[in-house]
Amino acid sequence: MDKRTYRLNRRGALSNVVGRFETIDYESFDDGWDLPEDAKRIPTTVYKETAKSVITHNDSPDVPFEQGLNPYRGCEHGCIYCYARPNHGYVNLSPGIDFETKIFAKTNAAEILEKEISKPTYKCKTIAIGSATDPYQPSERTMGITRSVLEVLNKYKHPVGIITKSNLILRDIDLLSQMAKENLVSVAVSIGTLDKELAAIMEPRAPTPQKRLEAVQRLTKQGIPVGVMSAPMIPALNDYELEFILQAASYYGAISAGYVLVRLPYEVKELFQEWLGEHFPLKSKHIMNLIRSTREGKENNSDFGSRMIGSGNYAELLKKRFLLAKKRYGLDKEVKLDKTKFIRKGQSQQLSLFCKE
């Protein structure tokens, strides 16, 4: 199947680039026959996965949480810039089309989560759901894994932060509003552009920006604290929208904001440049040169302190613009979730132990 067939069938990546752990590489070539390729749609396959553990831990100074949980591996939204794409290489799949079409669902996530937070040695800290792949991607509509995880967290009064770019989160507004009343939940909605046509290219199977703004509004009306993530900011492509995104988010009720400069780790850099060449051929070289100017001359720099926001003149200007707009639109509220209400399994709420860092 050629590149245009992939694009027309609403996939983000244009190829199945070989993962960095593979020993054999593949490439296409013109055999001279000039026969039409099969243009059938690429189906999404969901594999049920039995997880042995679900809580991940990190000590990165670049992210505001120490614990994460991702109900799915792979993401059908198809965002070309997704930094989680290389993880598919660990299961001998491609970070390209495979990442979007072969989804692994941790069907026992709620059960394992309950066991992990019930251990005597467990220290209660906010769990971020969706730090790698979207917990409300299309598969969640039928699988319901994210909801089952939220039910466990609500049962034990455990704080949670959710990151998504899908209005499917509104399905769980009943649970979220309950948790919000006890200061146990916050939501970050990712919006990288307000341009519907650009969004369809950047994130082909995610809900439209307008649907996400409406989700911000509905969640806010239920007392759920919502922030917006302007991510990723891509130089000379959507970076000019930064202030407009924050203004719109504020209008719809968001109280906080963040941003991330586009990151291109491992195979993502190859996929991203291929995507640029297909969709924005006249701007491709300029965009990549600007990205390199923020990454010390490279396509990516994973150093703590700069990997999320970059460095250099362009990155500094973007940071200043963000801070000014954040203040101007009142998106500087800080949400501190309550960890003291956490109840261990078999323990009454009256006798619950206070969580400590």
Give the C-alpha separation, 126 to 116, whole Å. 14
Can you give the pTM of this predicted structure? 0.90
Which of 341-345's residues contact partners 24+ apart within 8 Å by CB, and which partners?
Answer: 341/157, 341/182, 341/184, 342/117, 342/124, 342/156, 342/157, 342/158, 342/159, 343/156, 343/157, 344/117, 344/118, 344/120, 344/122, 344/156, 345/114, 345/117, 345/118, 345/156
Segment 5-19, tens digit of pLDDT: 445 478 999 989 876
User: Is residue 142 within 8 Å of residue 329, measured between CB atoms?
Assistant: no
Which pLDDT score is estimated for 256?
98
**What is the arithmetic mean of pLDDT over 22-31?**
50
Strand 160-164 with 185-190, pairing: parallel
For 357, the token pair is: 């860092």
3-328 has which fold? pyruvate-formate lyase- activating enzyme (3.80.30)
N- to C-terminal Cα separation, the chain? 52
For 168, the token pair is: 């499917």
Domain ranges of the chain: 3-328
DSSP structural state of residue 113: H
CA distances from 233 to 62, 171, 245, 295, 320 (A): 16, 29, 11, 14, 14
Which pLDDT score is estimated for 218?
98
Segment 275-325, tens digit of pLDDT: 999 999 999 999 999 999 999 999 999 998 899 999 999 999 999 999 999
Amino acid at 37: E
Segment 93-133, tens digit of pLDDT: 999 999 999 999 999 999 999 999 999 999 999 999 999 99
